[in-house]
Amino acid sequence: MNQPEIEFEHVVKRFGQTTVIPDLSFTINKGEFVTVLGASGSGKTTTLKMINGLWQPTSGTVKIGGKKLTEHNQVDLRRHIGYVVQQIALFPHLTIKQNIAVVPKLLGWEQAKIDQRVDELLDLVKLPSDQYADRYPAQLSGGQQQRVGLARALAANPDFILFDEPLGALDALTRIDLQKEIKNLHASLADKTFFFVTHDINEALYLGQRVMVMNRGRLEQFASPETIVQHPASPFVEELLATEERNQELWRRLQ
Which whole number is the average pLDDT over 209-222? 97
Provide φ and ψ at 107, rounded to 5°: -85, 0
Which whole number is the average pLDDT over 114-134? 94
Looking at the 3D structure of the chain, how many domains does it have?
Answer: 1
Range of the domain at 182: 6-91+162-253
Backbone conformation region of residue 170, classed left if phi is above 0, alpha if psi is from -120 to 50, else beta: beta
Whether the per-residue pLDDT at 142 is higher than 60: the answer is yes
In a domain, 53, yes or no: yes
In a domain, 227, yes or no: yes
- What pLDDT is stored for residue 172 in this prediction? 85
In a domain, 51, yes or no: yes
In a domain, 111, yes or no: no
Residue 117 binned pLDDT confidence (cut-offs 50, 70, 90): very high
- What pLDDT is stored for residue 134 in this prediction? 96
Q: Contact, 22 vs 214, CB < 8 A?
A: no
In a domain, 148, yes or no: no
Whether the per-residue pLDDT at 248 is higher than 70: the answer is no
In a domain, 117, yes or no: no
CATH number (domain holding residue 58): 3.40.50.300
- What pLDDT is stored for residue 171 in this prediction? 85
Whether the per-residue pLDDT at 121 is higher than 80: the answer is yes
Q: What percent of the chain has pLDDT over 90?
A: 75
In a domain, 110, yes or no: no
pLDDT tens digits for 47-101? 999 999 999 999 999 999 999 999 998 888 888 899 998 777 899 999 999 999 9
pLDDT tens digits for 224-246? 999 999 999 999 999 988 877 66
In a domain, 185, yes or no: yes
d(CA 178, CA 197): 15
